[in-house]
Structure 1
């Protein structure tokens, strides 16, 4: 029986390859569709209409318009870190009530 972390790792790998297909990298369109399906509120809540372009630019290490699995993990780590910061603040506020 896999642990929670092993399951999370499996899901990240599965999700990346589901959207990347046989190419083993994400294009801007693949990444946009992934973000819309897996993080539905993220793009909707962006105030910057160019947010997707900026994310792609930051993640496309070779500046070739593709995102490797390694750079996809950087995106997941950044989003997780942001959520963690929110979670900690929220939990502290909840504890004060």
Structure 2
């Protein structure tokens, strides 16, 4: 019985959170697919990163979206999203290391 009550490992929690976050935003429009449109990605970034990002410049936002859209199909797949989140984590780790 104690095995059922074990806490979920922290990395598993983070992985589940990323999957849930992607799915929550990917399903906002009626296209029914498992990808993020430009609008869905913008909503996700605003909701989850807030003031950390600035979407005030449409040209910059479009360039960012195009960089994430690896297969150039006009949407962000889960794989594209995971590459983005991994890159963001590495960037943040590098910035925090430089501050020390």
Q: Match for residue 12 of structure 1?
A: 18
Larger proportion of helix: 1
Q: Which runs of 5+ in 1 are unaligned?
A: 93-97
Aligned pairs for 1:36-47 (under 5 A) are 36-44=46-54
Whether 1:88 and 2:97 are equivalent positions in the alignment is: yes
Q: Which stretch has the larger CA shift, 59-68 or 75-84?
A: 59-68
Deviations 1:49-95 (A, max 9, x none): 222211210111221210000000111011111110111122x2xxx
Aligned pairs for 1:60-71 (under 5 A) are 60-71=69-80
Whether 1:23 and 2:23 are equivalent positions in the alignment is: no
Let me know the Cα RMSD of the aligned residues. Answer: 1.6
- Distance in 1 (CA, whole Å) between partners of 2:62 and 2:42 is 10
Q: Report runs of 4+ in structure 1 exceeding 6 Å deviation.
A: none
Residue correspondences, number: 89
Larger proportion of strand: 1
